[in-house]
Amino acid sequence: MQIKTLGGFSIISERERINLSKIRSRKARDLLKYLVAFRRKPIHIEILCDLFWRDMDQKYARINLQSTIYMLRSIVGKNKIVFHDNTYCFDPKNEIVVDADEFEKFIQMALNSKDLSERKTLLEKALDLYKGDFMAENLYEDWTLQFREHYRDLFVKGLLELGKIYLEEGHPHNVIELSKSALIQDPLNEEAVLLLIKAYIKNNNLSDAVKVYKEFSAILEKELQIKPSKELTQLYGQIVSGNLDNKWLIVVEGTDSLINKNDLLNDLKKAVRDTDEIVFLCENKVGIFLKGIPKAAAKNIYGRITNILDKCSVQTRISFREAR
């Protein structure tokens, strides 16, 4: 048996969805959801009576509880709701697969994993399970609040952790999507804003990066009367001053040993800035490290180097990428 709780409530038994419309009473459906929410935890009958039959005499409240439990057992199975010592417990033997449990398990496994590829796979699996708020149909029930916030926080954490991996891998469009999803859930999450701005920078979209900072700064001032963190403010300052800590690598590789290294070095120096670093990586490979300039400016340097190499007698290949 499988139970879905994220984004909606449903039960699947033997690959078929159970028709919960058979449970005509809204109170009975909510009791089932409550027991699922507190699965594997014994709940005293007085708590259940007070929650679902508060305005009823205790004697009749217990009768209603017993008859409702009997009906629910006919749907989910007698051994799935166990009575012991004046308590009811749903799935005490942990035999039912609940999507919220799987979601949390994958998130925790990902956070504990040292392997980046495994971490990424686990996060993707977890996020695929999150279809929306926990028990979304019971959004305004007090007892769902703690669970809804818990799983929503895990969802945001998963989005940001996966976003960091995508940023490292050089996929800014994916990072932008994940960061925006996190901010929908938590508009005041500064970590999400920082990740979003970094993605816009990597995508060479500085105007949107500035816009995000200004909008977030205004929200913080309005809602909390505080300013963005030092890290976020410094990054914004680097954007508007054009002093971003971007790093680029141009690699020149010869088919044979790069002869006349001094001549080549002098030619390359004409194409780069004084602050750029030129390193002979091996006999036939040169690396040019560029720091603190936008991608467009780095591409211009790449073009100048290409023009120089076109006039060189040695056959070469040239590549351009972001340095880590």
224/115 same-domain check:
yes
Does residue 288 contact residue 272 with C-beta atoms inside 8 Å? Answer: yes
Per-residue pLDDT, 290: 87
22/139 same-domain check:
no
Q: What is the CATH number of the domain that holds 286?
A: 3.30.70.3400
Does residue 100 contact residue 134 with C-beta atoms inside 8 Å? Answer: yes
Burial class (CB in 10 A: 0-12, 13-18, 19+), 159: buried
Q: Which band of pLDDT confidence, cut at 50, 70 and 90, is reported for residue 256?
A: low
215/256 same-domain check:
no
Is the model's pLDDT at 313 over the cut of 80?
no
171/73 same-domain check:
no
88/113 same-domain check:
no
59/109 same-domain check:
no
Q: Which band of pLDDT confidence, cut at 50, 70 and 90, is reported for residue 316?
A: confident
Which domain does 191 fall in, by range? 104-241
235/124 same-domain check:
yes
167/287 same-domain check:
no
Mean pLDDT of 211-219: 97
Number of domains, the chain: 3
Does residue 75 contact residue 18 with C-beta atoms inside 8 Å? Answer: yes
Per-residue pLDDT, 245: 67
Domain stops at, among 241, 269, 296:
241
Under 8 Å CB-to-CB from 117, ≥6 apart: which residues? none
Alpha-carbon span 76 to 96, nearest angstrom = 10
Higher pLDDT, 203 or 184: 184
38/86 same-domain check:
yes
If you ran DSSP here, which 8-state letter would residue 134 be given? B
Per-residue pLDDT, 20: 85
Domain stops at, among 62, 97, 132:
97
Q: What is the CATH number of the domain that holds 8?
A: 1.10.10.10
Per-residue pLDDT, 19: 83
State the chain's mean pLDDT as an integer. Answer: 91
202/267 same-domain check:
no
Per-residue pLDDT, 73: 94
Per-residue pLDDT, 238: 86
Per-residue pLDDT, 140: 87
256/169 same-domain check:
no
Q: Give 61-114 pLDDT, tens digit per residue.
A: 999 999 999 999 998 988 999 999 999 999 999 999 999 999 999 999 999 999
92/138 same-domain check:
no
Domain stops at, among 51, 76, 97:
97
Q: What is the CATH number of the domain that holds 174?
A: 1.25.40.10
